């Protein structure tokens, strides 16, 4: 079974631009969560989608948004990029809402904002 895939793997943007990251969960998984990882703040939860609905949201500004499609694939969008948005963005999937179930993480997308 294929693992969680994320595209692109690396991305360079400039301040003020917007970016869209994509995540394909493991086949059959209905929950997709997004995380931001930086050296200073560590791993921080962004949001979780289940059956095309956002179920949980972390403490991030409204510039961070996401969506999930009927095939469970998910995208996250960051608008008006700031230097501090440079980070590794990780996507994780699980069969059900990621509470009791383990999450399977993708390799991440490394975003650099110049």
Phi, psi (rounded to 5 degrees) for 84 = -70, -5
Q: Is 44 in the site for other proteins (CB under 8 A)?
A: yes
Count Cβ atoms below 10 Å from residue 7 Cβ, excluding itself: 11
Q: Which of 2, 10, 42, 53 contacts other proteins by CB under 8 A?
A: 42
Phi, psi (rounded to 5 degrees) for 30 = -110, -10
Q: How far is the CB of 17 from other proteins (least distance, A)?
A: 25
Q: Per the structure block, which two tokens stand in for 75?
A: 């995208």
Q: Which of 34, 81, 85, 106 contacts other proteins by CB under 8 A?
A: 106
Among 32, 33, 54, 53, smallest CA distance to 43 is for 33
Q: Which stretch binds other proteins (CB under 8 A): 11-19, 61-69, 72-80, 98-106?
A: 98-106
Residue 47 and residue 41 in contact, taking contact as beta carbons nearer than 8 Å = no
Q: Is 55 in the site for other proteins (CB under 8 A)?
A: yes
Q: Is 60 in the site for other proteins (CB under 8 A)?
A: no
Q: Which residues bind other proteins (CB under 8 A)?
A: 4, 33, 35, 42-45, 48, 55-56, 58, 90, 92, 97-100, 102-108
């Amino acid at each position: 079974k294929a693992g969680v895939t994320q595209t692109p793997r690396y991305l360079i943007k400039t301040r003020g631009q917007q970016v869209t990251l994509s995540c394909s969960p493991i086949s059959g998984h209905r929950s997709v969560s997004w995380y931001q990882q930086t050296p200073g703040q560590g791993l921080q939860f962004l949001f979780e989608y289940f059956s095309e609905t956002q179920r949980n949201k972390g403490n991030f500004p409204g510039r961070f948004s996401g969506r999930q499609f009927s095939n469970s694939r998910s995208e996250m969008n960051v608008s008006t990029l700031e230097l501090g948005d440079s980070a590794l963005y990780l996507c994780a999937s699980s069969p059900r809402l990621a509470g009791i179930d383990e999450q399977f993480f993708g390799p991440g997308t490394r975003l650099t904002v110049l």
